[in-house]
Chains A and B, each alone.
Chain A
Amino acid sequence: MKAGDLVELAARNLRESVLRNSLTTVGIGVGVASLVAMLSLGIGLQQLANRRLERSGLFDTIVVTSRRSLRGFDRRPQGNGPPPAESRALDENARLEIARLPSVLEATPDIRFVTELHYQGKPQLTMVAGLPPSAGENDAFENIQGHFFSSGTADEAILQIQFADDLLGVHPKPGDPSPKLNADTQALIGKEITLSYAERMPSPQTSADKSPAGEKSGPPETSPGAANGAGEPAAASFSVVPREKTLRIVGITDQDPDGIRGASGARVFLPLQMVENLHIMLPSGMRESAANFSNVPSYLSLSVRVKSPNNVESVQDAVKKLGFNTFSVLDATRNLRRFFAVLDLFLGIFGSLALTVAALGIVNTLVMAILERRREIGIMKAIGASDGDVKKLFFAEAAVMGLVGGILGVALGWSIGRVINIGTNIYLRRQDLPAENLWSVPWWLVAGAIVFAVVVSMISGLYPAARAARLDPVQALRYE
């Protein structure tokens, strides 16, 4: 018998006892739905965790500090580098060198300083941090009011909500709920704020803007970090000039960007490139200047972003070889993945239990069908159906039930997922937490669940099909 006829006969047989077969099919559907629901919950949670971790920037970021800073995170010199006083300065040249390492996306200086800002004439003292354009992906700016910096050099500022409240004169008492973005804070967007800072200027005789073209032609006696400005005296001197800059408030965030080390604790964020161009006198610069008297900016620490968490280790090694201390949160994601693999396994086992019950339903339905269709099987054999044809027919019926049940189950599972997701988000919103998508039904789960349902159904059909094929036509056709 050809496959087309097989499916046609199977479908017609299924239609004949439509109630029983539908109930069985719905049983499979529920089984598949529970499996899909469990697994997509597992996958969704895993994706949520991964997304959060990736966006937090914790796992693909290496913090590089100079050994001179004596502020290595483990307080011990890493590797066998030279003593702190002789090790390299973490300056612009080092930054460029690190940025050129393989797998490094960017190396940005952590610029963070305390300064005064003026808003409507009133001074506010706070911590200011520069943010690279890539920080726009950080989850702190996911629910930003307004928008992220339009460019790396824009004269713009993003405020942290607490600072915004300070500007508005709102002073929460201890125990008050954390401040929220609202219409008042919205009103700040577009307003101007004045940043006071100390510019570090080269000594008057070289005060003109140095052209970067002169960088490579520095006199040999200057230190590598001081190759700045042709014809400049070896020991550059500089002055510190107080300055003001007017910035436009473009966004307000209610969160702290945790992953961006240089920015944590800051209340006002500025575009990094713009801040760098201001040549602000930083404490680290002060110390470096005392040792070097170079005009090359140097940094307290750099944040190095790598392509993926897998690259962290190799980049860390490479940076250490350059003579710097590094720090990263490593291996945490690996453990996390193991946890989710186990979670998926357990969710899958619980989901499969329902499918097992459904499979028994198929066995029952088909065995009943054999009893009911004894005569029909006998007739089919008498007019030429082989044992194989009968077996295949019952198989096909099981497979069709599995297929329909599988499709039904995926749809049902997907709907359950939607409902749970909506419910969770309503709950999250009540708790004043941002909405999350903790539900994911990837295409392979859809295809896999349907195939699985068909396979399970066919396995369930094995015994009934063999029994039907074994049926003795003479017995079946005996006139009653």
Chain B
Amino acid sequence: MTDKLARPGAIRTEGVQRHFRMGEATIRAVDGISLDVAAGGFVALLGSSGSGKSSLLNLLAGLDRPTAGAVIVDGRNLAEMSGEELSRYRRLRVGMVFQAFNLIPTMTLLENVELPMRFAEVDRSRRPELAREALVRVGLGARLAHRPSQLSGGEQQRAAIARALVNRPSLLLADEPTGNLDSRTGGEILALLHELNAQFGMTVVMVTHEQALAERYAERLIFLADGKVVADQAIVPTSRGGTGGATGVPPVSGHGQDGHGTPGKVTL
């Protein structure tokens, strides 16, 4: 088990909590989630707004610290890391993709993709080549000198994926990557993520609203509500990538509703 946990991209959370104080009230955004994600897995976090899926993703990304519990990635507990170690973790282990793409508008695609390499202190002479490679990989080889505003949403998201990939992270975290895209483009983006997951063996954790798309590409769906896991189901491998859905899809439509799946920990 320890070996498995230490593999690049393996994730385990142990009773992780993230509470926010809002005046008198305490909001339990993440309220005791224990999960195991094997290295190289493709997991979709589903749930309505406020279910805590983005908060959980931020904890996995090392952008936020848990109020209690442990978040263990590659065998190290993020909750115990210093700020400097966390930034190092984000720099080298994690790639992030956002709903709003979050490219820097004043930089060309090439410069945007080079940016993580600046922080990672990659040799200056190697950066353009690596950035170009990453952009070619996501199908933007002809758009290197364009600025984000000159591209469509799908292209921007591809560029963001290239930026997330360029430091070869073991973990790719995507927060609603299709939220700003039409369904066809969203499908293309997920297909790309799926390809990269298969090609590089990086673990992908994706937050999404779109269950249908998630079912097509993810290996596992984890449903959250009120900061808790309400359902956790594996997708039958044969059905992946096709048009079909998973078996026993739980309707996640409200708060506090128990999913139909198997709550608790499921190891793939």
Q: Does A210 contact B (CB under 8 A)?
A: no
- The answer to whether B119 and A382 have CB atoms under 8 Å apart is no
In the bound complex, do residue B116 and residue A383 qualify as a contact, i.e. CB atoms below 8 Å apart? yes
CA separation between A9 and B116, bound complex, in Å? 12
Contact between chains at A382 and B61 (CB < 8 Å): yes
Interface string of A156-181 (1 = CB under 8 A from B): 00000000000000000000000000
Contacts A376-B104, A382-B63, A383-B163 given; indicate if A4 touches B124 (C-beta within 8 A).
Answer: yes
Instruction: Pick from B1-9, B91-99, B234-242 the stretch touching chain A.
Output: B91-99
Q: Which residues of A contact B88 (CB under 8 A)?
A: 384, 386
The 8 Å CB contact of A473, one of B63, B84, B92, B118, is B63
Question: Which chain B positions have C-beta within 8 A of A279?
Answer: none
Chain A residues whose CB sits within 8 angstroms of the CB of B104 once the complex forms: 376, 379
Q: How many residues of A contact B (CB 8 A)?
A: 25
In the complex, whether B120 has a CB less than 8 A from a CB of chain A is yes
- Indicate if the CB atoms of B63 and A384 lie closer than 8 Å: no
Flag if B120 contacts A477 (CB, 8 Å): no
B220 interfacial contact with A, CB 8 Å = no
Which residues of chain B (207-241) have a CB below 8 Å from chain A? none
Report the minimum CB–CB distance from B58 to chain A (whole Å).
Answer: 5
Report the separation of the CA atoms of residues A385 and B176 in the bound assembly, to the nearest whole angstrom. Answer: 22
Chain A residue at minimal CB-CB distance from B86: A386
Shortest beta-carbon distance from A34 to chain B in Å? 34
Residue B167 lies at the interface, judged by CB distance under 8 Å to chain A:
yes
Cross-chain contact A385 with B87 (CB below 8 angstroms): yes
Scan B119-130; emit 1 where CB is below 8 A from any A CB, else 0: 111001000000
Q: Which of A376-404 contact B (CB under 8 A)?
A: 376, 378-389
CB atoms of A380 and B115 under 8 A apart: yes
CA distance A159 to B153 in the complex (A): 92
Would you call A382 and B106 a contact (CB within 8 A)? Answer: no
Return chain A residues, CB-CB under 8 Å to B96.
382-383
Q: Which residues of B contact A379 (CB under 8 A)?
A: 102, 104
CB distance from B5 to the nearest CB of A (A): 23
User: Is there a chain B Cβ closer than 8 Å to A426's Cβ?
Assistant: no
- Closest beta carbon of chain A to B65's beta carbon, Å: 10
Interface size on B, as a range, is 20 to 34
Instruction: Known contacts A12-B106, A382-B63; decide if A477 and B119 are in contact (CB<8 Å).
Output: no
Which one of A375, A380, A382, A479 lies within 8 Å of B99 (CB-CB)? A479
Q: Which chain B residue lies CB-closest to A379?
A: B102
Residue pair B83, A387 in contact (C-beta under 8 Å)? yes
Asked if A341 lies at the interface with its beta carbon under 8 angstroms from chain B, I say: no
Chain B residues positioned under 8 Å from A387 (CB to CB): 83-84, 87
Across-interface contacts of A381 in B (CB, < 8 A): 63, 87, 90
* A383-B91 in contact (CB<8A): yes
Find out whether the CB atom of A384 lies under 8 angstroms from the CB atom of B106.
no
B64 adjacent to chain A (CB < 8 Å):
yes
Residue of A nearest to B169 (CB): A384
Given the complex of chains A and B, what is the CA–CA distance between A462 and B58 in angstroms?
A: 29
Check if B100 is an interface residue, CB within 8 A of chain A. yes
Give the docked Cα–Cα distance between A5 and B120 (Å): 11
- Between B58, B61, B119, the greatest number of chain A beta carbons within 10 A of the residue's beta carbon is seen for B119
List the B residue with the shortest CB-CB distance to A376: B104
> Could you tell me the distance between the alpha carbons of A460 and B167 in the complex, rounded to whole angstroms?
35
**B83 close to A384 (CB less than 8 A):** no
Q: Which residue of B lies closest to A384 (CB)?
A: B91
User: Does B119 contact A16, Cβ atoms closer than 8 Å?
Assistant: no
Interface of A is mostly: helix
List A contacts of B63 (CB < 8 A).
381-382, 473-474, 477
What separation, in Å, do the CA atoms of A383 and B163 have in the docked complex?
Answer: 8
The residue in chain B whose Cβ has the minimal distance to the Cβ of A385 is B119
Bound together, the chains give a CA A31 to CA B84 distance in angstroms of 37
Assuming the contacts A9-B118, A474-B64, asked whether A384 and B87 have C-beta atoms less than 8 A apart, the reply is yes
Contact (Cβ within 8 A) B102 A382 = yes
A389 touching B102 in the complex, CB below 8 Å, given contacts A4-B124, A383-B90: no
Q: B residues 162-178 with Cβ under 8 Å of A?
A: 163-164, 167, 176
Whether B119 pairs with A375 at a CB distance below 8 angstroms is: no
Asked if residues B83 and A1 are in contact (CB atoms below 8 Å), the reply is no
CB of B100 within 8 A of CB of A479, answer yes
**Contact indicator B119/A380 (Cβ below 8 Å):** yes
Docked pose: A386 CA to B84 CA in angstroms:
6
Find the A residue at minimum CB distance from B115.
Answer: A383
Give the distance in Å from the alpha carbon of A12 to the alpha carbon of B115 in the complex.
13
A2: CB under 8 A from chain B? yes
CA distance A387 to B61 in the complex (A): 16
| Minimum distance in angstroms from A477 CB to a CB of chain B | 7
Q: Select from chain B the residue with minimum beta-carbon distance to A373.
A: B104
B107 → A minimal CB distance (Å): 8
Nearest CB in chain A to that of B166: its residue: A383
A-chain residues with CB within 8 Å of residue B87 when the two chains form the complex: 381, 384-387, 389
**Whose C-beta in chain A lies nearest to the C-beta of B94?**
A384
Across the interface, which residues of B come within 8 angstroms of A380, CB to CB?
115, 119
Cα–Cα distance between A387 and B179 once the two chains are bound (Å): 29
CB distance from A444 to the nearest CB of B (A): 36
What 0/1 pattern do residues 106 to 141 of A give for CB contact below 8 A with B? 000000000000000000000000000000000000
- By a CB distance below 8 angstroms, the chain A residues around B61 are 382
Q: Name the A residues within 8 Å of B83 (CB-CB).
A: 386-387
Q: Which of B185-205 contact A (CB under 8 A)?
A: none
Could you tell me the distance in whole angstroms from the C-beta of A373 to the nearest C-beta in chain B? 9
Q: Is the CB of A16 within 8 A of B90?
A: no
In the bound complex, residues from chain B placing their C-beta under 8 Å from that of A389 are: 87, 119
Give the residue of B58, B99, B107, B119 whose beta carbon is less than 8 angstroms from that of A383.
Answer: B119
Pick the residue among A1, A386, A479 that contacts B118 (CB under 8 A). A1
Contacts A12-B106, A477-B98 given; indicate if A384 touches B84 (C-beta within 8 A): no
Residue of B nearest to A382 (CB): B96
The answer on a CB contact under 8 Å between A384 and B99 is no
**What would 20 more interface pairs be, CB under 8 Å, given A1-B119, A12-B107, A385-B87?**
A2-B118, A2-B121, A381-B87, A381-B90, A382-B63, A383-B91, A383-B96, A383-B115, A383-B116, A384-B87, A384-B88, A384-B91, A384-B116, A385-B91, A386-B87, A386-B88, A387-B83, A388-B84, A474-B58, A479-B176
Q: Which residues of A contact B (CB under 8 A)?
A: 1-2, 4-5, 9, 12, 16, 375-376, 378-389, 473-474, 477, 479
The 4 closest A-B pairs by CB, nearest first: A384-B91, A386-B87, A384-B119, A5-B118
Provide 11 A-B residue pairs closer than 8 Å at the C-beta atoms, listed in order of the A residue: A9-B118, A378-B102, A379-B102, A383-B90, A383-B115, A383-B164, A384-B167, A385-B91, A386-B88, A474-B64, A479-B100
